[in-house]
Structure 1
Amino acid sequence: GRAMPPARPRPRVGLSRARPRPSRRGLASARLWPCWRWRCWAGISAGGGGGIAAFCLRLARPRPRPRLLPGPAEHTRGAAAPAASAAASPARAPPLGSAAAGPEPPVPRSRERTPGHGRPGTGEGRSGVVAGPGPSADSRVPPAGTAQEALQERYRLGSLLGRGGFGRVFSATRLSDGAPVAIKRVPRNRVRHWGELPDGTSAPLEIVLLAKVSTGFPGVVQLLEWLELPNCIMMVLERPEQCQDLQRFIRARRFLPEEEARELFRQVLEAVRHCTSCGVLHRDIKPENILVDLDTGQAKLIDFGCGTYLQDTVYTHFAGTLSYSPLEWNDFGWYHGEAATVWSLGILLHQMVCGEHPFRRGQNLSWGQLPLPQRLSQECKDLIRWCLSMNSLDRPALEDLFCHPWMWDIPLP
C-alpha cells in the first residue's frame, strides 16, 4: 500500500523548549531603547507641540555615519577636514545653470578622433576668460582658473534665445557695465570631445575652437568667459544690443535683394576663410548660425558645437545639419572639408536671394539644372549652381568665391 509519513516526535512532558537566541538587531534595539526613551522625554519636555513635530522629523531623518578622513587629517585633529571636504564635494551649479535644466533630445555628433578627445574627471569647477574687444575687455572679470564669484552675481539672466540638442542659450546682462551677453548652457553629458587650451587647460572642443578663432575678429562671436560645473558647461558669449539670426532676418523680408545679400554673404565668406586659416572647420553653416547686428549690419558666425580641426584628408563621420550635407556624404559616406563648406554656402546664398532651401521640396539633383527665379541676375544664378555642383571636384575653392563676378557686381560677358 501507500507509505505512511514518519510520525513527529512528541515533546517530553515537563521539559521546556529551548528559547531562540536573540538576533543582533534585537540586541541593538534593546540596548538603544533607554537612549531613545530619554530622547523622546527630552523632546516632549523641551518644546511642547512644536518640539514634538521637530523631534519626529529628526527621528525620521537618517543620521549619517561619521567618515574618517585618511592621511594627515587624522594627525591634525580635524584641521584639514574642511579643506578636504570642500575638495571632495563638487561645486553647486548656480541658478543660471539650473534654470535650463531638463532633458533635451540628443543630436548626432561627429566621432573623429581629435587631440584631447578624452573626457577629464569632474572637478570642483573650472573657468576661463578669452580676452578680446568689446565687453570681453573688462579687467574685472577674473582670470582663468579662479572662478570664485558665482555667475548670478555678475550677470542678470533674461529670456530664452534658443534650444536644441546642444543645450540652451539665454540672454543676459553683465552687471558690471550693462553689456548684453548670451549664456549658453551645455549639459556635460552632451560634450563628446575635449581639447586643450594654449595654457594647458582641458576644455570642451567647442571652447578650444572658439578660443582659436574668436579673439579679435569681428565676424565670429566672441567667447568672453566659460565655466565648467559638475553637470554642465557654461559659456558667456557676446551679444549685440539689437540682433537677429539670419533665418528670421530673411523671413521678415521674404528674401533679400542681391545687393544686401552680397554684403552679408561676403562677410560670411570672410568669417569662414578666417576659421580655415586658424585650422578650424565649422561644419554647420546655415542661417540659424549667423547673427546679424541690426545697428551695424555686421554678420557673425556662431555655434561651433559641431566644429572640428581642419584636415586635408577626407572626413568619414558627419556632424551638422543633415539637410546641408553634401551629395558625396549621402552617396559615399565621406566628404572633404572645403568642398562640404562650399556646398553649404551655396545653400545659404540660395536661401538669401530666394527665401527658401533649394532642396526643401525634394528636387532631384540628377536633373542637372537647379531651377532659379527669373528675377535673379545671371551672375547670381551662376554662383549658386557652381557651389551646388554635384561633383565635389567641380565646386569652387573658397578663394574662387571672392573672385567671382557676382561678388564684385560685375556683369558676366
Structure 2
Amino acid sequence: MGGTTLDPAQIQISSRALGEMVTEIELGDLQYSLEFTDIDQDIYRAQLQTLRASLDYEGFKPPETIDPTPSETDYIIMGKYIVRTSFAKGAFGFVCAAIDQRDGTPVAVKKIIATTSRSHGKVIQEVKTLRKLMQNSRPLVDYFSIDSKDDQGVHECFFICKPLFSKSLYAFIPPSTASMSTRLVLFTQMLQGLIWLHDRGCMHRDIKPQNILASIDPIQAVIIDFGCATWQETSYEHWVADVWSMGISALELLSTQKHTWTMMSEDIYNQVVRRMLASCRDEEAMWAFEIISGMLEMDSKKRIDKRVLEGRDITSYSGASKL
C-alpha cells in the first residue's frame, strides 16, 4: 500500500501533520486510512473561539484562521505562503488568511486582479510607496505580481501583510465588540500612524474604517491601502483631508455608531457630529472627543494642526504603543 509515513521529529505545533483529505498510514503490520469529513463551519468557528478564550496563558494558541480540514483550493505563493480562507472582498480583489510555511506564522494576503495596464500601474505605485515607507522600519508587507499569461492582459498581484489582521476597524464599531479602553488605544495608534505617515511626506488620501486593520488580541491598528497616496510634504490640503477622514473614522469607533457621510449643509453636518459626540458620556473618552472635535471642523483652516497633535501626550494613554 502506498502509505504516508509521519516522522514525529518533523511535526511542529504550528504545522498540520495530515496535509491531504485522505492519508494512508502504515504502522508495522497495521494499515490505516484517515479521512477528514465536512463539519458545520459556524459550529467549528464558535468552538474555536471558545477554546482560544479558555487559554488565558502566554503559550501557544491555535490561530483564528486555522481551518478544520485541508482544502483542495489551497495554493502556495512565493514558495513560502499557503493561501487559505478568504475573509474579505472588495471592488478589485479579496483578502485571504495564509500561513508562512517557514515558521507557521499567520499572515494576510491581499489579492488584486489588475485587468488593465492602468490598474496594474496603480498596484506598482502602491508597492513603491510601501517600500519607501518601510525604509529603516520593520517590514509589514511583502509583494509580488504574477505577470499575464494569456491574451487578456490580466495580472494577479499579491500583498502579504504581517501580522495577520482578519478584521478592519469597521468590524469594531458596534458597541459589543470592544471596551472603551480598547477603543481608546486603537484611536491613539491611529493618530500615531497618521503623524508617522505625514512626517515622512506621505499623504494617504483614502483613510476610512475599511482601510485600517485592527485587532484586540493584541490591541493594534495599522493603516493600509496606499493606492491613492501621494508624496507632498508641504501639501496642506491633503493634510487637512487626512485629518478629517481620520476624525470621522475615530468618531464612529468611539461613538459606536456607523453613519453614511454624503453631501450636506454645514448646519446638518455640525448637528450630526454634535449628536454623535454627545452620545458617549464616558469620562474616560473626553480627551479623545476633544481632539476629534478639532479634527472635524468644517472650515479646514480651523481644523486641528499637526503640531497640536504632536504636542498632546497621546502616548501616555494606558496601553498605547508607538508604531
1:289–1:303 CA contact under 8 A, matched in 2:
yes
Question: SS in structure 2 opposite 1:343?
Answer: helix
Q: Residue 175 in 1 paired to residue 101 in 2?
A: yes
Question: SS in structure 1 opposite 2:115?
Answer: helix
Letter in 1 for 2:105: A
Question: SS in structure 2 opposite 1:204?
Answer: helix
Match of 1:227 among 104, 123, 145: 145
Q: Per-residue displacement from partner, 1:119-156 (whole Å, max 9, x unpaired)? A: xxxxxxxxxxxxxxxxxxxxxxxxxxxxxxx7274322
Query: By how many angstroms is 1:224 displaced?
Result: 1.8
Residue equivalent to 1:400: 308
1:407–1:225 Cα change, 3 Å: closer
Q: How many residues align?
A: 230
Query: By how many angstroms is 1:302 displaced?
Result: 1.6
Query: By how many angstroms is 1:246 displaced?
Result: 1.7
Letter in 2 for 1:277: D
In structure 2, C-alpha distance between the alignment counterparts of 1:190 and 1:261, rounded to whole Å: 40
Residue equivalent to 1:345: 246
Query: By how many angstroms is 1:374 displaced?
Result: 5.2
Residue equivalent to 1:383: 291
Q: Per-residue displacement from partner, 1:321-341 (whole Å, max 9, x unpaired)? A: xxxxxxxxxxxxxxx111101
1:393–1:204 Cα change, 3 Å: same
Q: Residue 310 in 1 paired to residue 232 in 2?
A: yes
For the aligned residue pairs, the C-alpha RMSD in angstroms reads 3.3
In structure 1, C-alpha distance between the alignment counterparts of 2:235 and 2:79, rounded to whole Å: 46
Question: SS in structure 2 opposite 1:192?
Answer: helix
2:255–2:280 CA contact under 8 A, matched in 1:
no
In structure 1, C-alpha distance between the alignment counterparts of 2:213 and 2:290, rounded to whole Å: 26
Query: By how many angstroms is 1:355 displaced?
Result: 1.2
Query: By how many angstroms is 1:158 displaced?
Result: 0.5
Residue equivalent to 2:72: none
Letter in 1 for 2:127: I
Question: SS in structure 2 opposite 1:226?
Answer: strand
Letter in 2 for 1:276: H
Residue equivalent to 2:173: 250
1:250–1:256 CA contact under 8 A, matched in 2:
no
1:185–1:232 CA contact under 8 A, matched in 2:
no
In structure 1, C-alpha distance between the alignment counterparts of 2:215 and 2:117, rounded to whole Å: 29
Match of 1:154 among 64, 80, 83: 80
Identity %: 25
Q: Residue 268 in 1 paired to residue 190 in 2?
A: yes
Q: Per-residue displacement from partner, 1:81-123 (whole Å, max 9, x unpaired)? A: xxxxxxxxxxxxxxxxxxxxxxxxxxxxxxxxxxxxxxxxxxx
Q: Per-residue displacement from partner, 1:166-186 (whole Å, max 9, x unpaired)? A: 322222222232222222222
Q: Per-residue displacement from partner, 1:200-243 (whole Å, max 9, x unpaired)? A: xx97111011111235546xx71223224122142242243565
1:350–1:358 CA contact under 8 A, matched in 2:
no
Normalised by the size of structure 2, how large is the TM-score? 0.60
1:339–1:227 Cα change, 3 Å: same
Query: By how many angstroms is 1:273 displaced?
Result: 1.8
1:205–1:308 CA contact under 8 A, matched in 2:
no
1:337–1:358 Cα change, 3 Å: same
| Unmatched 5+ stretches in structure 1 | 1-149, 196-201, 315-335
Question: SS in structure 2 opposite 1:224?
Answer: strand
Query: By how many angstroms is 1:303 displaced?
Result: 1.6
Question: SS in structure 2 opposite 1:400?
Answer: helix
Question: SS in structure 2 opposite 1:178?
Answer: coil
Question: SS in structure 2 opposite 1:171?
Answer: strand
Question: SS in structure 1 opposite 2:95?
Answer: strand
Normalised by the size of structure 1, how large is the TM-score? 0.48
In structure 2, C-alpha distance between the alignment counterparts of 1:313 and 1:380, rounded to whole Å: 26
In structure 2, C-alpha distance between the alignment counterparts of 1:352 and 1:287, rounded to whole Å: 8
| Unmatched 5+ stretches in structure 2 | 1-75, 149-153, 318-323
More strand by share: 2
1:357–1:295 Cα change, 3 Å: closer
Residue equivalent to 1:213: 133
Query: By how many angstroms is 1:248 displaced?
Result: 1.3
In structure 2, C-alpha distance between the alignment counterparts of 1:191 and 1:261, rounded to whole Å: 40
2:203–2:232 CA contact under 8 A, matched in 1:
yes
Query: By how many angstroms is 1:363 displaced?
Result: 7.1
Q: Residue 365 in 1 paired to residue 288 in 2?
A: no
1:346–1:384 CA contact under 8 A, matched in 2:
yes
In structure 1, C-alpha distance between the alignment counterparts of 2:267 and 2:297, rounded to whole Å: 11
